C-alpha cells in the first residue's frame, strides 16, 4: 500500500526547497572585489615630484582617500570600490593642479594611472604704472610740508634721491606757494625794516619811505622767486631745487653745496649750468635798478644784487647740506 502524502505537505516541502536553493545561491555568489589605483607624479622634465598631495575622490563626499608622495613621487590607493566613478586630484607647491579623467574599476582591477605630468604654476603679476606727473605731485606735497623748526619754509630742498623732474605747472605752483607763505611775507617786511634803519635805498624817511622800501623789497623778492624758480626753469628745463647729497666725504658734500648757484640738475637728469638761478638774480637786480632812487641806480646795483644773491645761495647750500636737514620737519630721505 503506497504512502499518501497530503497535498498541503507537498506544497510546503516545495516552498522550503525553493527558498533553500535561493539562499544557497546568495551565499555562494562572490562579493565584488575592490581594486587599487597606483601612479607616479612627475614634472615636465620627467623628474619625480615629492610632497605632492594626491586625493582619490569617489562619488560620495565621504569616499575620499589622501596620500602624500615620497621622494620617488609614487602613490597607491587600495580598497577602491569597483563600479563607481573616481577622480584623482594632485596638487604640489609651485605646480598647477592636476585632475584625472573619470576612473571606474572592474572588480579586483589593478589600475595604473599614467601620464601624470605637473606643469609649473602660472604666476600673475599686477603692475601699477604711475605717471611721472603723479609722482612729482606727491613729492611736491611732501616738500610743501618741509619747514625749518616747523616754522620757516624749506620747500626747495629735495631729500629724495629718486625724485622725478617737475613739470612747468609744478614749478609755478611751488613758486606761488613759497611767495605767498606768511613767513616769506614776514621776511620781506623784516628786510624792508632793516633797509629803513640803514636809510637805504635813498627813499624818504618815515612811513612813506618805509612803504617804498617795502614795495621795492616785494618787487625784487617776487621777481627772484618767479623768474629764478619758475619762468626760467620752465623755459630752460632746469630744476630749481637743491638736491641734498647727505653721503660721501665732507669735501665732496662741501663742493656739492657750494656749486648750488652755478650747477643745477636739468629735467633730463644731467648737471647743467644754473642759468635759471643766475638769471633770477640778474632779473631781481634789474627790477631794483628800475625802482630805486636815481642816486642808487646803475650797473653796479645790478652786479651787486647778483653777487649778493650768488653768495647767499652758496651759504644756503652749505647750511642745507650740513645743518638744516637735522631740523627740517616732514623731510623724506631715501638712500
Give residue-wise pLDDT tens across range 236-247: 999 999 999 999
Q: What residue spans define the domains of the chain?
A: 35-118, 132-329
Residues 208-216, mean pLDDT to the nearest whole number = 92
In angstroms, rounded to a whole number, what is the distance separating the alpha carbons of residues 125 and 304? Answer: 59
In angstroms, rounded to a whole number, what is the distance separating the alpha carbons of residues 90 and 49? Answer: 11
Is residue 98 pLDDT above 90, yes or no?
A: yes
Q: What is the residue-wise DSSP string for 172-221?
A: HHHHHHHHT-HHHHHHHHHHHHHHHHHT-SS--SHHHHHHHHHHHHHHHH
Quickly list H helices, 227-298. 232-236, 250-258, 275-291
Is residue 138 pLDDT above 80, yes or no?
A: yes
What's 20-37 look like in SS3?
HHHHHHHHHCCCCCCEEE
Is residue 197 pLDDT above 50, yes or no?
A: yes
Strands (E), the chain: 35-40, 42-43, 53-57, 64-68, 74-80, 85-91, 98-99, 103-104, 110-113, 117-118, 147-148, 152-153, 157-158, 242-243, 263-265, 271-273, 328-329
| pLDDT level of residue 28 (50, 70, 90 thresholds) | very low
Is residue 27 pLDDT above 50, yes or no?
A: no
Which comes out higher in pLDDT, residue 31 or 2? 31
Residues 299-317, mean pLDDT to the nearest whole number = 92
pLDDT of residue 24: 46
Write out the three cell numbers for 185. 611775507
| pLDDT level of residue 23 (50, 70, 90 thresholds) | low
Is residue 12 pLDDT above 90, yes or no?
A: no
82 neighbors 31 (Cβ within 8 angstroms)? no
Is residue 25 pLDDT above 90, yes or no?
A: no
pLDDT of residue 289: 84
Residues 252-272, mean pLDDT to the nearest whole number = 94
Is residue 19 pLDDT above 60, yes or no?
A: no
| pLDDT level of residue 2 (50, 70, 90 thresholds) | very low
* 65-77: pLDDT as tens digits: 999 999 999 999 9
Q: Which residue has the cell 653721503?
A: 247
CATH architecture of 35-118: Sandwich (2.60)
Distances (CA, A) of 312 to 168, 177, 267, 277: 25, 21, 24, 12
Residues 292-306, mean pLDDT to the nearest whole number = 89
Which comes out higher in pLDDT, residue 177 or 32? 177
Our measurement of the distance from residue 223's CA atom to the centroid of its chain's CA atoms, rounded to an integer in Å, reads: 39
pLDDT of residue 30: 57
Largest pairwise CA distance in the chain:
174
Write out the three cell numbers for 154. 624749506
Our measurement of the distance from residue 201's CA atom to the centroid of its chain's CA atoms, rounded to an integer in Å, reads: 54
Mutual angle of helices 299-322 and 250-258, in 10-degree steps: 150
pLDDT, averaged across the chain = 88
pLDDT exceeding 70 applies to what percent of the chain? Answer: 88
Amino acid at each position: 500500500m503506497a504512502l499518501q502524502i497530503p497535498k498541503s505537505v507537498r506544497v510546503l516541502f516545495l516552498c522550503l526547497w525553493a527558498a533553500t536553493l535561493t539562499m544557497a545561491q546568495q551565499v555562494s555568489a562572490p562579493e565584488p572585489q575592490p581594486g587599487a589605483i597606483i601612479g607616479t607624479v612627475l614634472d615636465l622634465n620627467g623628474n619625480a615630484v615629492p610632497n605632492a598631495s594626491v586625493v582619490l575622490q569617489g562619488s560620495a563626499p565621504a569616499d575620499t582617500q589622501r596620500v602624500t608622495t615620497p621622494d620617488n613621487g609614487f602613490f597607491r590607493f587600495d580598497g577602491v570600490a569597483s563600479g563607481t566613478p573616481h577622480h584623482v586630484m594632485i596638487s604640489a607647491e609651485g605646480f598647477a593642479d592636476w585632475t584625472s579623467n573619470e576612473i571606474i574599476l572592474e572588480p579586483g582591477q589593478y589600475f595604473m594611472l599614467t601620464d601624470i605630468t605637473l606643469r609649473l604654476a602660472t604666476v600673475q603679476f599686477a603692475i601699477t604704472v604711475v605717471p611721472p606727473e603723479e609722482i612729482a605731485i606727491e613729492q611736491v606735497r611732501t616738500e610743501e610740508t618741509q619747514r625749518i623748526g616747523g616754522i620757516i619754509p624749506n620747500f626747495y630742498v629735495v631729500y629724495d634721491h629718486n625724485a622725478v623732474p617737475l613739470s612747468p605747472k609744478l614749478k609755478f605752483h611751488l613758486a606761488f606757494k613759497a611767495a605767498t607763505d606768511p613767513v616769506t611775507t614776514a621776511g620781506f617786511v623784516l628786510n624792508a625794516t632793516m633797509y629803513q634803519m640803514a636809510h637805504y635805498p635813498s627813499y624818504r624817511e618815515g612811513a612813506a619811505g618805509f612803504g617804498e622800501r617795502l614795495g621795492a623789497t616785494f618787487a625784487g623778492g617776487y621777481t627772484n622767486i618767479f623768474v629764478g624758480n619758475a619762468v626760467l626753469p620752465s623755459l630752460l628745463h632746469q630744476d630749481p631745487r637743491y638736491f641734498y647729497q647727505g653721503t660721501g666725504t665732507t669735501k665732496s658734500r662741501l663742493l656739492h653745496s657750494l656749486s648750488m648757484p652755478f650747477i643745477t640738475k636739468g629735467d633730463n637728469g644731467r648737471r647743467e649750468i644754473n642759468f635759471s638761478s643766475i638769471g633770477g638774480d640778474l632779473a631781481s637786480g634789474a627790477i631794483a635798478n628800475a625802482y630805486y632812487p636815481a642816486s642808487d641806480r646803475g650797473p653796479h646795483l645790478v652786479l651787486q644784487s647778483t653777487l649778493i644773491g650768488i653768495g647767499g645761495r652758496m651759504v644756503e647750500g652749505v647750511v642745507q647740506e650740513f645743518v638744516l636737514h637735522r631740523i627740517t620737519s616732514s623731510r623724506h630721505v631715501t638712500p
